[in-house]
Amino acid sequence: MKPKAQKSTCTVLQVGPMPLYLEVPLHQEFNVHRLPDGGRQEFLATKAEHVNIAFTTSTVGVDGRLMRALPNLQAVINFGVGVDKTDVQTANELGILVSNTPDVLTDCVADVAVGLLIDVARGISAADRFIRRGDWAQGAYPLGMRVSGKRVGILGLGRIGLAIAGRLEGFGAHIAYHGRNRVVDVTYPWYDSLAELAQNSDFLIVAVSSSPATTGIVSREVLDALGPRGYLINISRGAVVDEDALVEALVQKRIAGAGLDVFAHEPHVPKELATLENVVLTPHLGSGTTETRQDMAELSLENLRKFVIDGTLITPFG
């Protein structure tokens, strides 16, 4: 076990850009080096051995190669709940602790999932464009699909999935879910097949963590099971969905529509999606409120402070 980092010798490596409300206090409190985009070898040659902690975001992460280049790295602090950009397996092999920011963002992400679902089913964003184009003078807006009382399938009934389910119970929705295992103390029906869940859902909501095991699991087959009256909502990660298959299914109306906050290659969004009225697009804003991002920043910093003091984390991942 490596000796615990002490604040006096603690050096933090900032990996990737971060918002000022996080970066300013981080640099005020700690001895921080930014990992440069260029000249990394030269930087690491002189700084690597001094780095005890890496501080990153869900958008960037710390890969295994960088971990192995930092011989005294003891912890990775992640701003965000998703750690799919950090090589957690290598961190575990090297005895490097990883923290993330669960719970503080659950409500805001769940709110966006419900918002996207209502928007795409009732065509709210599309109706706004309808009025702005002056089309109302030509006739009534097309009918949408009722949300209340519908069947909602949730892929991944974790913290965020459960929060979404709780919200939609208020709409009289019939909730079911798929995940590797049944969730303890939950009465919603569990499907051991994602395709079967999709087949029995009007809305399929993707709330599962992104990992090698979940990459592309919302496949063409699952989308076809969801079918021409089904809607897909994704507030997880674009990688969980076969994005080419999704675009094709939407263009060919093999599914009714989609509400998407995340994409496979952000900030790039398939251009076909921007032409479709049965799609609602948002730029990965799930946790993007002033309150929640401040809470995420504080939790990240609290993890760092605690690790420096006693070598443990408040919200360790895994």
Out of 42, 169, 266, 291, the active site residue is 266
User: Minimum distance between the CB of residue 296 and ligand 8YV, rounded to whole angstroms?
Assistant: 7
Q: Determine the interface stretch with ligand 8YV among 77-85, 161-169, 264-272, 306-314 (rule: CB under 6 A).
A: 77-85
Cα(292)–Cα(276) distance, rounded to whole angstroms?
A: 31
Distant-in-sequence, close-in-space partners of 286: CB < 8 Å, separation ≥ 6? 105, 108, 109, 112, 113, 235, 261, 262
Token pair belonging to 141: 């807006």
Catalytic-residue membership of 237: yes
Token pair belonging to 265: 């290659």
Q: Determine the interface stretch with ligand 8YV among 73-81, 163-171, 199-207, 270-278 (rule: CB under 6 A).
A: 73-81
Instruction: Please report whether residue 106 would count as binding ligand 8YV according to CB under 6 A.
Output: no
The count of chain residues that interact with ligand 8YV, using the rule CB under 6 A, is 11
Distant-in-sequence, close-in-space partners of 115: CB < 8 Å, separation ≥ 6? 259
Catalytic-residue membership of 266: yes
Distant-in-sequence, close-in-space partners of 275: CB < 8 Å, separation ≥ 6? none
Instruction: Please report whether residue 105 would count as binding ligand 8YV according to CB under 6 A.
Output: yes
Q: Determine the interface stretch with ligand 8YV among 76-84, 167-175, 178-186, 190-198 (rule: CB under 6 A).
A: 76-84
Instruction: Please report whether residue 238 would count as binding ligand 8YV according to CB under 6 A.
Output: no
Place of tokens 């000796």: 3
Element (H, E) at 114: helix 106-122
User: Which residue is closest to ligand 8YV by CB?
Assistant: 80
Query: Packing angle between helix 159-169 and helix 106-122, nearest 10 degrees?
Result: 50
User: Minimum distance between the CB of residue 133 and ligand 8YV, rounded to whole angstroms?
Assistant: 32
User: Minimum distance between the CB of residue 243 and ligand 8YV, rounded to whole angstroms?
Assistant: 17
Judged by CB under 6 A, the residue of 52, 56, 57, 315 near ligand 8YV is 57
Cα(267)–Cα(188) distance, rounded to whole angstroms?
A: 35
Cα(253)–Cα(251) distance, rounded to whole angstroms?
A: 5
Out of 237, 277, 291, 302, the active site residue is 237
Judged by CB under 6 A, the residue of 13, 74, 80, 263 near ligand 8YV is 80
Place of tokens 């260029």: 38
Which residue, 147 or 163, has its beta carbon nearer to ligand 8YV? 163
Strands 257-260 and 279-281: parallel
Q: Determine the interface stretch with ligand 8YV among 26-34, 54-62, 151-159, 250-258 (rule: CB under 6 A).
A: 54-62
- Residue pair 231/117 in contact by the 8 Å Cβ criterion: yes
Question: Using CB under 6 A as the criterion, what x/- string covers residues 265-294 for binding ligand 8YV?
Answer: -------------------x-xx-------
Which residue, 177 or 263, has its beta carbon nearer to ligand 8YV? 263
Quickly count: other Cβ atoms within 10 Å of residue 177's Cβ. 26
Phi, psi of 190 (to 5 degrees): -105, 130
User: Minimum distance between the CB of residue 178 and ligand 8YV, rounded to whole angstroms?
Assistant: 21
Element (H, E) at 106: helix 106-122
For residue 157, give the nearest of 142, 187, 178 by alpha carbon: 178
Catalytic-residue membership of 27: no
User: Minimum distance between the CB of residue 24 and ligand 8YV, rounded to whole angstroms?
Assistant: 16
Active site residues: 237, 266, 284
Residues lying near ligand 8YV in the complex (CB under 6 A) are found at: 57-59, 79-82, 105, 284, 286-287
